[in-house]
Amino acid sequence: MKTVTGRRYAVLVVLGLSLALPARARAQDTGDLGIALGAKPPAVTIEDLDGRPVDLGQIVGKKPVLFEFWATWCPLCEALLPKLEAAHARYGSQMDFVAVAVAINQSQSSVKRHLALHPIPFRFLWDSNGNAVRAFQAPSTSYVVVLDASGKVAYTGSGDEQDIDAAVRRVVTAN
């Protein structure tokens, strides 16, 4: 019988719980879960979809950035996508949008195949060993973190009913 490691088990439990929450609860700021508002996430290195290292510290602190912790199999991510695409169309020249593909039940090649069939206009990165998940304390997929231009957390939220436009507008107009 296959055993599940402690870290993987915790991630699976949190993902399951986040999907079981009512829609209104899923749309709320994450409160005690996830990285704290005002915090600066630690610089970590993950990969692009071709396996090349990407230092998130090179992205953070230059202009506002939105990170979404994402998976091909995540129904909340799919439901949130129109809001993210609309915000990207409106504010994409003023801030970066980065999807962090989590390495749970998907591979780099499955993410690439998905994006070939369903293009999404953001930069996609691959979190092969959970470095970004741990750094941002991501409680689930569909978890969004918006950083201001100085690299501080200005917004966190999870679920498909987040007001992405308002969260992004706040950091763009603050510049």
Model confidence at 85, in pLDDT bands (50, 70, 90)? very high
List, for residues 7-21, the tens digit of each pLDDT value. Answer: 443 344 344 434 444
pLDDT at 32: 63
List, for residues 126-170, the tens digit of each pLDDT value. Answer: 999 999 999 999 999 999 999 999 999 999 999 999 999 999 999
Mean pLDDT across the chain, nearest whole number?
86
- Report whether pLDDT(30) > 60: no
Question: At 100, which amino acid appears?
Answer: V
pLDDT at 33: 80
> What number is the average pLDDT over the span 81-90?
97
The beta strands (E) that lie in 5-152 are given as 45-48, 53-55, 65-70, 96-102, 123-127, 143-147
Q: What angle do CA 7, 9, 12 make, to 5 degrees?
A: 110
71-75 long-range contacts (CB < 8 A, ≥24 apart) are 71/101, 71/102, 71/104, 71/105, 71/106, 71/141, 72/101, 72/106, 72/110, 72/111, 72/114, 73/105, 73/106, 74/141, 74/142, 75/19, 75/160
